[in-house]
Structure 1
Amino acid sequence: MNLADRSAIFLSTLCMIHCLVLPLILILLPTLTTLTFFSDERFHTWLLYAVLPISAFAVVLGYFHHRSWLVVLITSMGMGVLVTVAIFGHDVFGEQGEVIASVLGSILVAYGHIINFKARRQLSQCHPVSARSTS
């Protein structure tokens, strides 16, 4: 799996964990509320700033290899959901809706990158790069 796909999957997973686990941790361990960076909406924004360019780079690069619009569609839908949630947040979706939409967007982004990786790998197995002669 290439580095961009791995990074995007990691960041999407981190976002899901943040959305699902952090509220429970803050309830169980209220002293952690002093770690405002992780409980703040800015954490989502910084993750988004990391995910968007990495995802776009990996998907565009992958598309030039496998020409699969499905990868572009799924990943773009996920990024669109994440951007929408970041812009409108719990003011529009409510707190639970924000978590559900963020998790859905993260799953779509991660799934798109998994498909991207598999399509690139399948193509490279069908058309291996020929070795150059060193003589």
Structure 2
Amino acid sequence: MKSSVPHLLDGSAIGLSGLCLVHCLALPVAAAVSPMLGVWSQAEWVHLIFVLLAAPLSVAALVMTRPRRPAAIALAAGGLALLAAALLFHEAETAMTVAGGLVLASGHLVNWRGRLHPPHAHAA
């Protein structure tokens, strides 16, 4: 059952990216309706929690996958870098977070699809 662990981790990482996107895009709209939600849409600790969950989950999913896929690793690293940069540069926080979440999810989709459709060895 060890081979199902990376599949579960990739699926969890994709789900976390989706939750992050909902937080970034839907919560500010909901905050217009309810001021209490406005506190959550601006809370720095929420973004930090997403990054602290995404980083180890992503690394675990990509490290446990054999063979490793350079495209998936590059996409995931870029996505995590954008998420981390959003914590530092507040001017474009939402744009960087949305882009980072999408790029990170794309890396996990590449990883997931690669496991479902492994490359065939070519006959010499």
TM-score, with length taken from structure 2? 0.84
Within 1, Cα distance between the matches of 2:67 and 2:16?
Answer: 24
Q: Which residue of structure 1 aligns with residue 79 of structure 2?
A: 78
Q: Contact conserved, 2:28 with 2:41, CA < 8 A, in 1?
A: no
Q: Which has the larger radius of gyration?
A: 1
Secondary structure, in 3 states, of the residue corresponding to 2:60? helix
Amino acid at match of 1:106: G
One-letter identity of the residue aligned with 2:95 = I
Q: Which runs of 5+ in 1 are unaligned?
A: 128-135
Stretches of structure 2 lacking an aligned partner (at least 5 in a row): none
State the number of aligned residues: 116
Q: Closer, same or farther in 2 for the Cα pair 1:38/1:27, shift >3 Å?
A: closer
Q: Aligned partners of 1:30 and 1:38: how far apart in 2?
A: 10
Tell me the residue number matched to 1:122.
117
Tell me how far 1:61 sits from its aligned partner: 1.6
State the partner residue of 1:131.
none
Instruction: Tell me the equivalent position of 2:50.
Output: 47
Point out 4+ residue stretches in structure 1 off by more than 6 angstroms: none
State the identity as a percent: 29
Distance 1:99 1:37, change over 3 A: closer
Over the aligned positions, Cα root-mean-square deviation in angstroms equals 2.0
Distance 1:71 1:49, change over 3 A: same
Q: CA deviation at 1:126?
A: 5.7
TM-score, normalization by structure 1: 0.77
Task: Say whether the 8 Å CA contact 2:51–2:84 is kept in structure 1.
Answer: yes
Greater relative contact order structure (CA < 8 Å, 6+ sep): 1
Contact 1:22 1:39 in 2 (8 A): no
